[in-house]
Amino acid sequence: MEEIDDDVIRIKEPLSVKYEIPAALHRFDGGKVLLFENPKETGTRVVGGVCGARHRILKGMGLTAENLYEGIIHATKNPVKCKVGDGPVKEVVEEGSLKDIPVLTHFEGDPGPYITSGIVYTSVSGGEQENVSFHRLLVLDERRLAIRIVPRHLYRLTQLASEAGLSSLDVSVSIGLHPATMIAGSLTAPFGVSEFDVVNNFHGGSLKLTRCEHVDALAPADAELVLEGKLWIDEKATEGPFVDLSGTFDVQRQQPIIEVVGVMHREDYIYQGLLPAGSEHRLMMGMPQEPRIWEYVRGVVPNVRGVNLTVGGMGWLHCVVSFEKFREGDPKNVLMAIFAAHPSLKHAVVVDSDIDPFDMQQVEWAIATRFKGDEDLLLVPNVRVSSLDPAADQEKELGCKVGIDATRPMFKDPKGFRRAEIPVSEELRKVLSKYS
Ligand SMILES: Cc1cc2nc3c(=O)[nH]c(=O)nc-3n(C[C@H](O)[C@H](O)[C@H](O)COP(=O)(O)O)c2cc1C
């Protein structure tokens, strides 16, 4: 094992795509990028954990923690059409086969290898309505994948295609992308707008797409690998059980099939893995939702320090919002705004602006010192929650939301809630820094 730069570890030992590479990704989850130079079964290198750290996603998008929310909202409202041309992904164009692609099998109990980092592009009405989204893909055999489609925009496009008398949709599945391009798969643009055009903002307008060779679909021209497919709307296969965000198995369902009719890749392409339930999965799910929560909360209180869909809460079920409280009644309104912005949310904590919402020790300290259970708790029973919450009624998606107001009561002397500090002179700072 050798570090090639600050953020990448190169693993030379031969590891298997079945369990061994996923185990390494799990071991280093949330840390550095791992590049597997010698997978046991193939000559193709595998990379993982690319977007597993918040700072790397921000860097890739050219944004900072301070301007992330404005940046995503601006990009979503102002898509920039991508140019179309050729690119390195067309160095090799082949007939459709999954045989040589090092798809990972992650967990004991998985039904087979799963492509988890692929983002699916499709369009209907001659490109008038487009969509880009992440979908897990179970390898059924050398040419077929089962695709999990939660009823959202891609699902709606399959309905439109059916209504137009079509039995299939042409799709591209892009794997091995720049982080700013990858985020297209987890952003929600208005229906019909291509999320590639949204993230083109993060590329300064330079994101180039290429036309697939075997199907009528677009894909990033600088992708490592693109599968060209026919999504057969009414042909179904058993998909799952799959380990989802929660780290528990999602149920089996009948889901549509993608037939892989072509493959395009760079000469010496790197296959990108993404560990289900790992921090990359959670960050990519949660981060794009934070701006919406931020916008809703800003409708209630003017100064919002930050929104954190916490990694521990699967980037999906737990949210911490830090804001400046002006009136005693603000926090419960803020809690209601948070729940309205992200209907899958289960628990939300609101804290004063002296608490960093990304530092869970500070958040817990605020709960310990500023929260009073009989007054500061908001319970919303029998409400829609996430299908990923095993404690809820997963079929009806019904559960209970809990809001925690961990802000200081305004009628009590603020001195009682201030964290005591020890004065540190410049001289002492220098002495102490020698030992850190
Ligand atoms: C790593 C990852 C895997 C995902 N897997 C799926 C999936 O299998 N099926 C699905 O419908 N959504 C999945 N999602 C969520 C969607 O891609 C995401 O909600 C997207 O914004 C939906 O796009 P839309 O708003 O254009 O419909 C996944 C997201 C991530 C980050």
Q: Name the amino acid, one letter, at 325.
A: K
What does the alpha-carbon distance between residue 147 and residue 374 come to, in Å, rounded to a whole number?
A: 46
List of the chain residues with pLDDT < 70: 1-5
C-alpha–C-alpha distance, residues 127 and 309, integer Å? 34
CA gap 154, 184 in Å, rounded: 13
Cβ–ligand 1 contact at 168 (below 6 Å):
no
Q: According to the model, what pLDDT value does residue 177 have? A: 98
- Ligand 1 binding pocket mutation candidate from 29, 135, 139 (most atoms within 8 A of CB): 135
Alpha carbon of 97 to ligand 1 centroid (Å): 24
Q: What's the predicted TM-score (pTM) here?
A: 0.91
Contact 388, 282 (CB under 8 A): no
pLDDT of residue 125: 86
152 lines ligand 1 (CB under 6 A): yes
pLDDT for res 5: 63
Task: Please give the distance, rounded to the nearest whole angstrom, from the Cα atom of residue 334 to the centre of ligand 1.
Answer: 27
3-class state of residue 414 by DSSP: helix
Burial class (CB in 10 A: 0-12, 13-18, 19+), 150: exposed
Report CA(185)–ligand 1 centroid distance (Å): 7
Cα diameter, the chain: 78
pLDDT tens-digit map of 344-355: 999 999 999 999
Tokens of residue 235, six digits: 């042909």
Cis peptide before 88 (omega within 30 of 0): no
From the CB of residue 424, how many other CB atoms can be counted at a distance below 10 Å? 10
Using DSSP's 3-state secondary structure scheme, residue 374 falls into coil
Helices 54-61/68-77 angle, 10° precision: 50
> Nearest CA to 392 among 329, 430, 344?
344
Query: Can you give the pLDDT at residue 1?
Result: 40
Which tokens is 63 given? 């944004």
For residue 137, give the ligand 1 atom closest to its CA. Answer: 8
Distance CA 330, CA 397 (A): 29
Query: To test ligand 1's pocket by mutation, which of 131, 181, 186 has the most ligand atoms within 8 angstroms of CB?
Result: 186
DSSP assignment of 292-338? HHHHHHHTT-S-EEEEEE-TTTTTTTEEEEEE---STTHHHHHHHHH
In the prediction, which pLDDT does 341 show?
96
- Give the span between the Cα atoms of 68 and 37, in whole angstroms: 33
175 lines ligand 1 (CB under 6 A): no
Cα–Cα distance measured from residue 115 to residue 169, given in angstroms and rounded to the nearest whole number: 19
List the one residue out of 281, 284, 279, 304 whose CA is nearest residue 294: 304
Q: Rounded distance, CA 196 to CA 82, Å?
A: 7
Model confidence over 353-393: pLDDT tens digits?
999 999 999 999 999 999 999 999 999 999 999 988 889 98
Cβ distance 144 to 204 under 8 Å? no
Tokens of 314: 């699967």
Identify any residues that bridge with 185 across adjacent strands, giving them in sequence order: none
Q: Which strands, in side-by-side order, build the sheet including 45-48?
A: 2-5, 8-11, 33-36, 45-48, 270-273
Structure tokens at 420: 């005591």
| Residues with a known catalytic role | 244
Q: What does the DSSP 8-state code read for residue 409?
A: P
Contact 61, 284 (CB under 8 A): no
CA-150 nearest atom, ligand 1 = 11
Is 265 touching ligand 1 by the criterion CB < 6 Å? no
CA of 135 to the centre of ligand 1 (A): 6
Residue 350: the pLDDT is 98
How far does the centroid of ligand 1 lie from the alpha carbon of residue 133, in Å? Answer: 5
Question: Which residues are CB-contacts of 298 (< 8 A; sequence separation ≥ 6)?
Answer: 304
Q: How many residues does the chain have?
A: 436
The identity of residue 421, as a single letter, is: E
Distance of CA 70 to the CA centre of its chain: 18
Q: How far apart are the first and last CA of the chain?
A: 27
Q: How far is CA 409 from CA 96, 291, 293, 337, 353, in A?
A: 63, 27, 24, 20, 14
Alpha-carbon distances, residue 321 vs 182, 296, 315, 376, 399 (angstroms): 26, 12, 14, 15, 22
Ligand 1 atom nearest the C-alpha of 280 is: 1
β-pair type (119-124, 242-243): unpaired
